C-alpha cells in the first residue's frame, strides 16, 4: 500500500513535500517523494490530498480509569483537597464504570490522533475484560501500599498476574507519599522487561511533607496511618533516588518515566546533573495548570539533557485527551520552544521513554505503521500548523490498519 500526502513529516530532517509512504503489513517499507515511491512499490494508492502525514502521537502519561471524572472535580484550595475530592468520586464507581471509562478514553484518544498510550490503571484486573483495544497500549499497574504496608509483595505479585493479560506492561508505584520504598524496590526487581513510572515532586505540598514534615498532605497521610518518620529532611527527588538506587542495576534508571517533577530545589538540580543514567520526564501542561503547580522547569531539565515528553494525565484534571491541545498549552508557557521541538515531545521523545526509539515516533523504514494525517495548506511552517491543529483526526492508521477511510 502507498499513502500519499502533500507533506510527510518523517521526523528525520525536513518534511517531504508531495511525499508518500510505502507500507507492507504493519511496517513502513519506504518513505520519500511520491513519484519515487510509486515507481518502486506496487499496491493500492491512498491519496490523502492536502494533508500532512505524521507519525501517530504518543501519550506518555494517562489514567483512562478516570475518563468519566471529566468536569466532576472542581478546583480545590489545596492539592490534598483535590486528592480527597477525587477519592470521594472514585468511591461511587463500580468495576463496570471503570471499564466503560477506559473504553471511552480509548475512543477519545484515538479520535485526537493518539496511536500509542502509556496508561496507568489502578485496576489491572480489568485488563482481561477489555477487548478490541484500538491503540498501542502500555499498561502500568498503579500500586499503593500505604494502607497495607505488610502486603507489598502480594500487591506486586497480583499485579504481575493481572498484567499477563496485557502485551506491553509496566509497574507504577503511585508516588512516594502513597507507596513505600519497599514497593519501589519490588517494582524495580519484578521483571527486567517491564517499564516503570511514578509521580514525583508534583506539588508544593509533597515537598512540604517530605522536606519540612508539615502541611496539608503531611497531615492527611499521617491521619490515614502512613509512617511519617521519613519526613522532615529531604526533598522528594532525594527520596526517589534513594528508593530506586539500592536495588537497581546501573542501567535501571533509564527505565523510569517520571511524571511531573515541578518542585526541584537547587540541590536537586545538582543531583540531577550528576546522574549518569537519566530517567525520562513527562509533563502534562493542562493538568499542571489545573492544579496551579509551580512552573515546570523545562529549560533547566532540557539543558541538563533529560528526555522530556508530554502526557494528558487523567480527565479528573483535564478537559479532553488531545495531545494537540497539550502541545498548544505547552507552547503558551514555553513560547521559545520551536513547534518542531514541541511535536517531538509527543512522538520521538515519547517513543524513547517507552524504549521504542527504533519502532515508533518516526516515519522511517522498518518502523511500525502508526500514522495520522492532519490538514495543511503548504504555506508557512508545517510544524506550526501541526501544533495548531484543533480538529478531530479523520485519518489514522494503527499497526498498519486504517481506522477511518480517507475523505481525501
User: 362 and 151 in contact (C-beta within 8 Å)?
Assistant: no
Q: How far is the CB of 338 from Zn ion (least distance, A)?
A: 27
Q: Per CB under 5 A, which of residues 284..313 are in contact with Zn ion? A: 313
**Residues 377-408, buried b or exposed e (16+ Cβ, 10 A)?**
eeeeebbebbbebeeebbbbbbebebbeeeeb
Query: How many residues are listed for the chain in this entry?
Result: 408
Q: Under 8 Å CB-to-CB from 247, ≥6 apart: which residues?
A: 185, 188, 189
Q: How far is the CB of 95 from Zn ion (least distance, A)?
A: 21
**Cα(392)–Cα(125) distance, rounded to whole angstroms?**
31
Q: Which residue is nearest to Zn ion (CB)?
A: 313
Q: How far is the CB of 59 from Zn ion (least distance, A)?
A: 11
Closer to Zn ion by Cβ: residue 329 or 386: 329
Give how far Cα 249 sits from Cα of 214, 245, 257, 352, Å.
Answer: 34, 8, 16, 19
Torsion sign across C-alpha atoms 140, 141, 142, 143: negative
Q: How far is the CB of 61 from Zn ion (least distance, A)?
A: 6
Closer to Zn ion by Cβ: residue 291 or 306: 291
Q: Please name the residue that has the C-alpha cell 522487561.
A: 193
Count of beta carbons in the 10 Å neighbourhood of residue 77: 8
Closer to Zn ion by Cβ: residue 291 or 367: 291
Count of beta carbons in the 10 Å neighbourhood of residue 51: 23
Closer to Zn ion by Cβ: residue 188 or 313: 313
Q: Per CB under 5 A, which of residues 313..342 are in contact with Zn ion? A: 313
Q: How far is the CB of 333 from Zn ion (least distance, A)?
A: 19
Q: How far is the CB of 203 from Zn ion (least distance, A)?
A: 12
Closer to Zn ion by Cβ: residue 19 or 311: 311
Closer to Zn ion by Cβ: residue 145 or 313: 313
Residues near Zn ion (CB under 5 A) are 313
Amino acid at each position: 500500500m502507498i499513502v500519499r500526502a502533500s507533506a510527510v513529516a518523517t521526523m528525520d530532517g525536513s518534511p517531504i513535500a508531495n511525499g508518500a509512504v510505502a507500507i507492507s503489513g504493519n511496517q513502513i517499507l519506504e518513505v520519500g517523494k511520491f513519484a519515487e515511491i510509486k515507481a518502486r512499490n506496487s499496491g493500492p494508492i491512498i491519496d490523502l490530498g492536502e494533508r500532512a502525514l505524521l507519525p501517530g502521537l504518543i501519550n506518555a502519561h494517562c489514567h483512562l480509569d478516570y475518563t468519566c471524572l471529566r468536569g466532576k472535580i472542581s478546583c480545590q484550595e489545596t492539592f490534598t483537597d483535590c486528592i480527597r475530592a477525587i477519592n470521594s468520586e472514585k468511591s461511587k464507581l463500580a468495576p463496570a464504570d471503570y471499564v466503560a471509562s477506559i473504553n471511552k478514553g480509548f475512543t477519545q484518544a484515538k479520535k485526537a490522533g493518539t496511536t500509542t498510550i502509556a496508561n496507568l490503571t489502578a485496576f489491572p484486573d480489568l485488563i482481561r475484560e477489555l477487548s478490541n483495544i484500538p491503540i498501542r497500549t502500555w499498561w502500568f499497574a498503579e500500586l499503593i501500599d500505604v494502607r497495607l504496608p505488610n502486603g507489598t509483595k502480594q500487591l506486586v505479585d497480583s499485579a504481575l498476574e493481572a498484567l499477563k493479560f496485557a502485551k506491553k506492561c509496566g509497574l507504577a508505584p503511585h508516588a512516594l507519599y502513597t507507596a513505600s520504598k519497599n514497593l519501589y524496590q519490588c517494582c524495580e526487581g519484578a521483571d527486567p522487561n517491564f517499564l516503570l513510572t511514578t509521580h514525583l515532586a508534583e506539588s508544593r505540598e509533597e515537598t512540604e511533607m517530605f522536606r519540612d514534615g508539615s502541611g496539608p498532605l503531611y497531615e492527611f497521610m499521617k491521619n490515614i496511618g502512613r509512617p511519617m518518620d521519613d519526613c522532615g529532611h529531604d526533598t522528594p527527588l532525594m527520596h526517589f533516588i534513594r528508593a530506586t538506587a539500592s536495588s537497581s542495576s546501573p542501567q535501571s534508571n533509564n527505565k523510569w518515566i517520571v511524571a511531573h517533577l515541578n518542585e526541584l530545589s537547587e540541590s536537586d538540580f545538582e543531583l540531577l546533573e550528576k546522574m549518569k543514567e537519566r530517567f525520562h520526564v513527562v509533563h502534562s501542561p493542562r493538568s499542571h495548570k489545573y492544579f496551579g503547580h509551580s512552573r515546570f522547569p523545562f529549560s533547566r531539565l532540557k539543558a541538563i539533557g533529560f528526555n522530556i515528553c508530554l502526557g494528558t494525565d487523567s480527565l479528573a484534571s483535564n478537559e479532553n485527551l488531545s495531545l494537540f491541545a497539550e502541545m498548544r498549552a505547552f507552547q503558551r508557557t514555553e513560547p521559545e520552544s520551536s513547534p518542531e521541538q514541541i511535536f517531538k515531545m509527543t512522538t520521538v521523545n515519547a517513543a524513547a521513554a517507552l524504549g521504542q526509539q527504533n519502532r515508533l515516533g518516526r516515519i522511517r523504514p522498518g518502523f511500525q505503521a502508526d500514522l495520522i494525517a492532519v490538514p495543511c495548506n503548504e504555506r508557512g511552517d508545517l510544524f506550526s500548523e501541526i501544533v495548531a491543529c484543533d480538529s478531530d483526526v479523520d485519518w489514522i492508521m494503527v499497526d498498519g490498519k486504517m481506522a477511518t477511510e480517507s475523505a481525501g
